[in-house]
Amino acid sequence: MVSYKSSEYVQDSDSDSDTDNQFEPPKNFHKVSNSASTPFPIASTVSNKEIWLIKAPKGFPINDLKSLPVSFTSTSINNGPAPVKVKGQSFQINEELLVEDATENRKYSILVNTKKNSSFIPLESQNIARFYNVRETVKIPKIDLEKVVIPRVDVEKVEDLRMRHFPTGY
Q: Tell me how far apart the alpha carbons of residues 94 and 72 are, in angstroms, rounded to a whole number.
A: 11
pLDDT at 142: 92
Q: What is the mean pLDDT of each run of 10 residues along the chain (170 residues)?
A: 67 58 82 60 65 86 79 64 82 74 68 73 78 87 90 88 81
The pTM for the full model equals 0.54
Q: Is the dihedral of CA 120, 21, 107, 131 positive or negative?
A: positive
Domain definitions of the chain by residue range: 37-139
